[in-house]
Amino acid sequence: MDRVGYSVQRRRRTGMIAVMSALGMTAVLGGCGLTGGSGDVTLRLVAADYGDTAANSSEKYWAKLVDAYEADHPGVRVEVSVYSWNDVDREVKEMVDAGKAPDMAQIGAYADYAADDLLYTADALLSIPVQAGFSSALATAGQVNGVQYGMPFAASTRLLFYNKKLFQEAGLTPPTTWAELAAAAEALRAQGVKYPYALPLGSEEAQAETMQWLLSGGGGYTDTVGTYTIDSAENVQTFTWLRDELVGRQLTGPVAPGKLDRADAFAAFARGEVGMLNGHPSLMRTAGQHGVDFGMVPMPGVDGESEATMGVADWMLAFKQNGHQDEVGDFLDFVYSEENVLDFSRRYDLLPVTNSASDAMSAAAEDRDLKPFLDELALAELYPVGKTSWAAVSAEVKQRIGSAVAPGGSPASILGQLQSTATTAESAAAG
- Within-domain flag for 303: no
Note whether 319 and 346 are same-domain residues: yes
Note whether 319 and 414 are same-domain residues: no
| Residue 305: per-residue pLDDT | 87
- Across the range 369-382, mean pLDDT stands at 88
- Within-domain flag for 306: no
Note whether 74 and 221 are same-domain residues: no
- Within-domain flag for 308: no
Note whether 72 and 143 are same-domain residues: yes
Residue type at 200 in one-letter notation? P
| Residue 101: per-residue pLDDT | 97
| Residue 32: per-residue pLDDT | 33
Q: Indicate the number of domains in the chain.
A: 2
In the chain, the N- to C-terminal Cα span, in Å, equals: 33
Note whether 92 and 7 are same-domain residues: yes
- Within-domain flag for 337: yes
Whether residue 1 has pLDDT greater than 90 = no
Q: What is the pLDDT of residues 6-65, one digit of tens each?
A: 222 332 233 333 333 333 333 444 433 333 344 588 999 999 999 878 888 999 999 999
Note whether 92 and 230 are same-domain residues: no
Q: What is the pLDDT of residues 182-222, one digit of tens each?
A: 999 999 999 999 999 999 999 888 999 999 999 999 999 99
Beta strands in 25-129 (DSSP E): 28-29, 41-48, 76-83, 104-107
| Residue 55: per-residue pLDDT | 86
Question: What pairing do the DSSP bridges indicate for beta strands 151-157 and 309-318?
Answer: antiparallel
What pTM does this model have? 0.83
| Residue 309: per-residue pLDDT | 87
| Residue 378: per-residue pLDDT | 76
| Residue 231: per-residue pLDDT | 98
Considering the chain, what percentage of its residues have pLDDT values greater than 90?
Answer: 79
CATH code of residue 337: 3.40.190.10
Q: What is the pLDDT of residues 296-354, one digit of tens each?
A: 999 999 999 888 889 999 999 999 999 999 999 999 999 999 999 999 999 999 999 99
Taking each helix axis from N to C terminus, what angle separates 411-430 and 390-400, rounded to the nearest 10 degrees? 160
- Within-domain flag for 356: yes
161-165, 365-369, 408-412: lowest mean pLDDT where?
A: 365-369
- Within-domain flag for 415: yes
| Residue 52: per-residue pLDDT | 77
Q: Is 297 helix (H, G, I), strand (E, B) or coil?
A: strand
* Sequence-separated (6 or more) residues with CB below 8 Å from residue 51: 57, 58, 59, 60, 348
Note whether 410 and 363 are same-domain residues: no
Note whether 267 and 411 are same-domain residues: yes
Whether 29 contacts 63, CB under 8 Å: yes
49-58, 152-161, 249-258: lowest mean pLDDT where?
A: 49-58
Domain residues for the domain of 182 are: 159-298+389-430
- Across the range 96-114, mean pLDDT stands at 96
| Residue 193: per-residue pLDDT | 98
